[in-house]
Amino acid sequence: MKKLSVFTIVYSLLGVVGSGTVFFRYIEGWSWLDSYFFTVVTISTVGYGELVPATAAGKIGTTFLIFGGLGVFAVAIREFAQYHMQKREEHTEWLIGRLGNGRGQDDSSAANADDAPHQGTDPASQSR
């Protein structure tokens, strides 16, 4: 699947939220804040239920907002998650390369590669 640019995702989200806000401001007559709040709550699937469209046009517009806005919101969340999973994978690979994976190392008694092996400090060989 083709990776979307951050520009595309951000402007798609802004377009959906902006158009939904303007739509409800003029169709339902709500305040700008209420229109924005309803749009964000709807596309994020939270759905508090405090505001409900009263007009037929508002109800139909809400269904379009749900289908279109939810799709854009889901793609944005997917891209965000994919980006962070990729960064975590890169970091894990870096850690494995930096710290080593424990294979191919000699089994000396040194705790670290920087430490010299301890000789004659085996507790079993010491007399009491």
Residue 123: inside a domain:
no
Burial of 38 (0-12, 13-18, 19+ CB in 10 A): buried
> Quick check: 109 pLDDT over 80?
no
Residue located via tokens 């804040």: 33
**Residues 112-128, mean pLDDT to the nearest whole number:** 57
Residue 73: inside a domain:
yes
pLDDT tens digits for 57-71? Answer: 999 999 999 999 988
Residue located via tokens 């424990």: 102
Residue 85's pLDDT is 92
Residue 3's pLDDT is 75
> Quick check: 104 pLDDT over 80?
no
The CATH number of residue 52's host domain is: 1.10.287.70
Mean pLDDT taken over the chain: 83
Give the C-alpha separation, 61 to 53, whole Å.
9
Residue 63: inside a domain:
yes
Residue 105: inside a domain:
no
Residue 2's pLDDT is 74
Domain count, the chain: 1
Residue 106: inside a domain:
no
Domain that holds residue 14: 6-98
Residue 109: inside a domain:
no
Fill in the DSSP letter of residue 17.
H
